[in-house]
Amino acid sequence: MRYLRLFAGLLAVAAAVALSVVHARAAGEPFAGGDAAQGAKLVQASGCEGCHGAGFTGGIGPALVGIEKRLTAAQVADKIQHPKAPMPNFGFTDAQAADLVAYLSGLDGGTGKPVVKIVPAEPTDQATVLVTFSGTPPSDVQVEAVMRMGAREHGTGWVPLQKTDDPHVVAAKVRFTMGGPWIVRVRYGKGAAMDVPVTVDG
Amino acid sequence: MRRGTFIAGGFALAGGAMVVQALPPLAARAAASDVVDVSLTATPLTFAPFPGISFQGLAYNGSIPGPLLRIRYGQRLRARYVNRTGEPSTIHWHGMILPNAMDGVPDVTQVPVADSGAFVYEYTPDPPGTRWYHSHAGHQTLLGLFGMIVVEDPRDERADQDIALVFHDVPKPASVEAALAGTSTAPMVDPLGSPELLAMSPDDRMGDEIAYAAHCINGASYPKASPIVVQVGQRVRLRILNANVTQTRYVRLAGHVLRVTHADGNPLAQPVNVEALRVGVAERYDAWVEFTKPGAWLLQGLSADPMAFEQAVVVHTPGMEHATPQGSPSALEGVRYFTYELAGLAQAVGAWPAGGRIDVSRSYVLGGGQWASDRWTMNGSAWPNTEKIAVRRGDRVEVRFTNKTDMHHPMHLHGHVFEIVEINGHALRHPLFKDTSLVDPNGGTMTWRFSATSPAGRWLLHCHNDIHMMDGMMTEVDYA
């Protein structure tokens, strides 16, 4: 065999399926109980991330991470089946809409944790850090770029994140002073900081 | 004294995107001029068709794709090329029968144009139809050096609108380097129909796929691409080019039938009505659409295996600019789409294509593509050690391919129009006249015939997947 087999993607699908079970809504609720694995296929085929951003953290279309906390399944299905331009109408059936709802409802893993996105993903000297919350973002979200040098860490200083057009997303620019492996560190409230590794092509 | 018409640059807009637009009507052009002068300058361009995408590419006249060139059949083209890419480069006029020295193949038909150098390509474009031009140096086409050239055929039926649509995708730079080394972990995308593909896990990797970061029509990503406005009652001619150098595209216009009249710019024996077009790498199709009611629809480019929505542009009637566009499902089950067999009226297996004498016959087994092997072959050899085809002027030539790899190969012959007479054992009742054709994977066969009536010289025959070409799947037809 000539193929290199990667398992990461498979695990991600498995995780999505498992999470959809966690998020399954009570039987009888409209558009509940869809198949998240089928929803994942529809999402892939329809190119949803092209507009809603990698990991559904927002792009031309709104962020969908945590959508289940903002809208009911029926409301999400309605937006899928009766979209407003520029979102196309792909003519999804009720069953397909339920599958999509099941998939999208599992995007945040049910943790309620915000999702950190770095644009561009492979920065050269600076990047925009976007943090998507399922609800209203707290007012004290901060970000810092950190470089590890052996056991020591060199931080560039904490920067507060600002509101964006999307009520669920706050953002700030960070600068990288040299190329190499960096960590983008986000903190808010009294919780532990979240670290996102990023390679800077300096 | 001859009067020149200068048409370069007028189609390029700021920001590197060519807006989807109807071709200017003939009356707006200097129809009497014998020579059309074009100036094409290649430079680096930071191409940003989508938020978060900033691609360090190359561009003709500052736009990706390069300017749309339009010329009347019989006029002479004089294209002054200035290379400011920082590396050697050429322009290949894909699908044209022209003097060999104008064919634009580095170190085969010309000394490559050095950085800051210039070269004048001058010839009379032939045959008429939808063709294109692109660099033939390294992977510069992948970086953005391509554009469409339309040679108007005075015999064509009149369209209410004549619209050029160049499909291309912006690569992730790291995946290009990995693909050239055969170690890319980008997901495999290939046309339908391969049993081996069906047996693959979605997580398998081929090693030579390029991952794409953004997907464009005329240099713009959906929904940023300017919509195409059509009137109810109009008959619109779409000229479609797949300038992606590794992937097939399936093209659909939601709610509409495409009447396909030309393949690679050459008329079909009879038009074919389909719901979707399969457009292989470097292929062109002319498809006509009739708009009978108001609405807004997506014209989409889909990739296959698995089907996925890649690029799109909205087509709408006046007053429908804010309407939700109707899209097509990303699936081909039950969808009638264009194939060579459909257009060529394939016969049952066993019927061998009729024809007169064959003077030169050559068979090639397409092979290679092992993981990290960095080698694609014809009869076990890689360019420049592949077996060449020697012809004499006037010879009737037959070339047969057997594809032992598990990928399609868009095989392209320079300087000729060939006839596809056989596919996978099916003779075609109406041979298809083309310059590029997809050979099916896993034992797929295809037979071409052509007459050696082009100007003498060395004419390349190669896979138009840039990675496969650079890794050896190339030979040449040599005139004695």
Q: What is the ipTM, given to two decimal places?
A: 0.71
- The structural domains of chain A, with segments of one domain joined by +, span 8-104, 115-200
Closest CB from A5, A84, A120 relative to B324: A84
Q: B4-155 sits in which CATH class? A: mainly beta
Tell which CATH architecture fits domain B360-479: Sandwich (2.60)
Side-chain-facing half-sphere of B262: CA atoms under 13 Å: 27
pLDDT at position B436: 98
> Is A46 an interface residue toward B (CB < 8 Å)?
yes
- The reply to whether domains B4-155 and B211-338 share a CATH topology is yes
- Read off the pLDDT of residues B135-175 as tens digits, 9 standing for 90 and up: 999 999 999 999 999 999 988 999 999 999 999 999 988 77
Q: Rounded to an integer, what distance in angstroms lies between the CA atom of residue A87 and that of residue A93?
A: 16
Residues of chain B with Cβ-Cβ distance to A87 below 8 Å are 324
Note whether A90 contacts B: Cβ–Cβ < 8 A.
yes
> Distance (Å, rounded) from C-alpha B449 to C-alpha B458?
18
CATH of domain A8-104: 1.10.760.10
pLDDT in tens, B27-65: 344 455 689 999 999 999 999 988 778 899 999 999 999
Q: Examine the pLDDT at B201 and tell me if it is beyond 70.
A: no
Report the pLDDT value the prediction gives residue B197, as an integer from 0 to 100.
43
Is A93 in CB contact (< 8 Å) with chain B? no
Please list the residues that pair with B80 across neighbouring strands.
B39, B120
Euclidean distance between CA atoms B345 and B347, whole angstroms: 6
Q: Does A18 touch chain B (CB under 8 A)?
A: no
What's the CATH code, domain A115-200? 2.60.40.10
Nearest neighbour of A85 by CB, restricted to B310, B322, B371: B322
Interface of A with B in 142-201 (CB under 8 A): none
Across the range B415-421, mean pLDDT stands at 97
Are A44 and B207 within 8 A, CB to CB? Answer: no
Which sequence spans correspond to the domains of chain B? 4-155, 211-338, 360-479
Query: What is the CATH superfamily name and number for domain B211-338?
Result: Cupredoxins -  blue copper proteins (2.60.40.420)
Q: Do B51 and A87 touch (CB under 8 A)?
A: no
Size of interface A-B (CB pairs under 8 A): 98
Q: Is the pLDDT of residue A8 over 60?
A: no
